[in-house]
A and B are shown apart, each in its own frame.
Chain A
C-alpha cells in the first residue's frame, strides 16, 4: 500500500517533548492508501495520541516528513494549510469536550461549510440538517446545545462535523472508548456505513482490540513511541510477534466461550425466605 498511490505517507516522524528523555514519537513511518482502514493500537503512553496530533499538524514534529495526497503537508502554511485541512479530519475521544459548550450544534456544523466555502449562506441550514440526518440524528437537534444531547448523540454530531468538508482521511482518537456498549455498537455501525458509502480512509487510534478488529484491515502496534508491528489486522492478532502485541492480546477481557454450558443453572439459593 505504499508508494505513489498512498493517501498519507509518514516517514521518520519524531517528536520529543521538552525535558523528556525518550521521544514520544520515535522515527515512525507508515502509509495509508485511499479508502484504507488502519488501526493504531498501543497501551497508554505509547505515543498514539501524539502521533495523531502530528499527523493533523496540531503539533509540529522535530523531524520527519508527511505527504498527504502527494503534497508535502509539513511545508503548507497559512491559507494553504487551512484549505488542505478540509480533506483531513479528526474525531475526538470525548465528544463533550470536542464541542464548544457555548454554541448551538447547528452553528458548529456550519463552521466547516463556511470555512471552506462549500455551501452558500442561505443553504446552510438545510445542509446542516442533511448532515445530521446522515449520521442518524433528527435535524431539529441543530438548535440544541451540546450539554442537552446524550453521549452517543454528541459523538454523532462530532462525526457529522468531521464529514462536513468531505474529507478523504479521518483520524479517530478512541472514538468509542467513552461510550456505553450499545451506543458503541451503533457508532461502529455508523462509521462502517460511512466508510462504505464515502470510500473514507481512516487511522483509528485505540487501546481496545475489539474495535480495531471491526474497524480496520491493517493494524499498527505502537510501543514506547515506535511502531513495533504492522500487518493485516486479523493476521497480526492471530499470530502476534511483538511483545507489545502479545501483552495487549493477553490483557483483553473476553466473555467465556458461549458454547460452554457448565451452568449451575438455577440460582444457588432460591430461598423461600426472600419471596
Chain B
C-alpha cells in the first residue's frame, strides 16, 4: 500500500519530572494511523494512553520531556488543534463551557477555523446538532449545556470536535462516564461520523468491548510501552502478548458470567511503571521466565502490527 500515513509516531517517549524520580509515561512508541482508519488504544490506568493522546493533541504540559517524533505526513505540516485534530474528552459535564450556549460553543470553532460569520456559524451549529442526534436543534441551539442529559452533552462535545472537519478525531474514554445504553449509541455515532467525514479516529479506552465495537486496529499499551498492535479481529481472537490475551480472557469471562476464568492476571504490585530493564509486564505475567526480568523484549513488527514479548512468534 502506498497510502501516506496521517499520523506517524516514531520512538516516542515522554517523561514527567517528579520527586523522587521522573515518571516515564511513554517509552519508545512506534505507531501509525492511515487516513480514515479507526485505531483504538487499549490500556489500564498508568498505561500512558492518555499521555499519548495529549501528545498528539498538543496538550502536554510544558514540563514534559519528549523524545522521538510525532508527525503528520499526510498533512505535510504541523496540525492546527481544533481544525485538523478534534478532541472528545471523557467527562461531558466538565468539557463543555457552562456559561456559553451550545450553539456558541460549536459556532466558535467555525468562526475561528473556518472564518465563518457568527450568523452562518449558528446555522451550521443547528445542522451539526441534528447530525449528532439532538432532537429539535433549532429550538435547543441557544440552550446552555446544563439543559442537556449526560449522553446529549457528549453528543454536543462530539459536534464541537467535528465542527471544523478535522482529519483526525481523538477521543479519550468518551463513553466511560455514561451508562450502558448511552455508551453504545455514542460509539455508533462516532463510528458513523468518521465514516461520513472520511476522518481517522484514535480512541482511548480501558474496555476491550468498546474497542471491539469500533476499531479497525487495536494497540495495547502497558506501563508506557506498546505491547501489541494489530487488526482488531486478530487481537480479539488470537492475542499474542500475555497481557492482551489476559484482557481478552477477562472480557470473555465477564460476558459469560464465569467467575472461575477471571484470575488470569496477577494483582499489580502497585501502580505499573516502566521498569528500567526487563519486560514491564513480567511481575504480573503468568508465563514470565528468567530472560523476561533482565532483557526487555524488542518490538517485532512495524508501526501497524507487532508484539513485544520473548514468547510471541512474530
CB within 8 Å of B: which residues of A? 43-44, 136, 150-152, 180-186, 188-189, 192, 207-211, 213-214, 233-234, 247-248, 250-256, 258, 260-271, 274-275
Contacts and interface: CB of A to CB of B under 8 A. Distances in A.
A262 B233 CA distance: 8
Contact of A214 (B237, B254, B305): B254
Given A253-B207, A262-B233, A271-B1, A248 B180 contact: yes
- In the A-B complex, the 10 residue pairs with the smallest Cβ-Cβ separation, listed nearest first, are A213-B257, A267-B305, A180-B44, A253-B209, A210-B254, A269-B1, A185-B262, A251-B181, A44-B179, A182-B265
B263 A189 contact: yes
A156 to B, nearest CB: 9
Contacts of A182: 44, 246-247, 250, 265, 268
A231 to B, nearest CB: 15
B254 A43 contact: no
Given A43-B179, A255-B209, A267-B305, A183 B231 contact: no
A189 B262 contact: yes
B231 A181 contact: no
Given A43-B181, A189-B262, A207-B180, A274 B32 contact: yes
A186 B304 contact: no
Contacts of A260: 233, 237
Given A248-B181, A251-B180, A253-B209, A185 B265 contact: yes
A187 to B, nearest CB: 10
Contact of A188 (B3, B185, B210, B262): B262
Nearest to B238: A263
A267 B231 contact: yes
A264 B305 CA distance: 12
A44 B236 contact: no
Contacts of B257: 210, 213-214, 233-234
Interface in B273-290: none
Given A180-B206, A192-B259, A210-B255, A268 B44 contact: no
Contact of B303 (A185, A264, A274): A274
Interface string B172-190: 0000001111111101000
- Max chain B Cβ within 10 angstroms of own Cβ: one of A184, A234, A248, A253: A253
20 contacts: A181-B251, A182-B247, A182-B250, A184-B250, A185-B263, A208-B180, A210-B254, A210-B257, A213-B255, A213-B257, A214-B258, A214-B262, A252-B184, A253-B210, A253-B212, A253-B213, A263-B234, A263-B237, A267-B305, A275-B302
A43 B180 CA distance: 7
A251 B183 contact: yes
Contacts of A207: 179-180
Nearest to A270: B302
B254 A274 contact: no
Contacts of B213: 253
B230 interface: yes
Contact of A152 (B236, B248, B268): B268
B87 to A, nearest CB: 22
B51 interface: no
A251 B185 CA distance: 8
A148 B281 CA distance: 22
Given A183-B268, A269-B304, A209 B259 contact: no
A44 B3 CA distance: 44
Given A181-B247, A270-B302, 7 more contacts: A150-B268, A150-B271, A183-B44, A209-B180, A252-B184, A254-B209, A255-B236
A181 B302 contact: no
Given A180-B45, A183-B44, A256-B233, A150 B270 contact: yes
B208 interface: yes
Contacts of B264: 185
Contacts of B255: 210, 213, 254-255
Contact of A255 (B45, B208, B259): B208
A267 B183 contact: no
A209 B180 CA distance: 9
Contact of A253 (B183, B238, B262): B183
B301 interface: yes
B302 A267 contact: yes
Interface in B232-248: 233-234, 236-238, 246-248
Contacts of B313: none
Contacts of B150: 44
A181 B250 contact: yes
A247 B301 CA distance: 42
A189 B206 CA distance: 19
B293 interface: no
B212 A181 contact: no
A167 to B, nearest CB: 21
A264 to B, nearest CB: 6
- Max chain A Cβ within 10 angstroms of own Cβ: one of B179, B209, B236: B179
Interface in B146-195: 150, 178-185, 187
B267 A136 contact: yes
B310 interface: no
A252 B178 CA distance: 13
B259 A189 contact: yes
B253 interface: yes
B77 to A, nearest CB: 21
Contacts of A266: 305
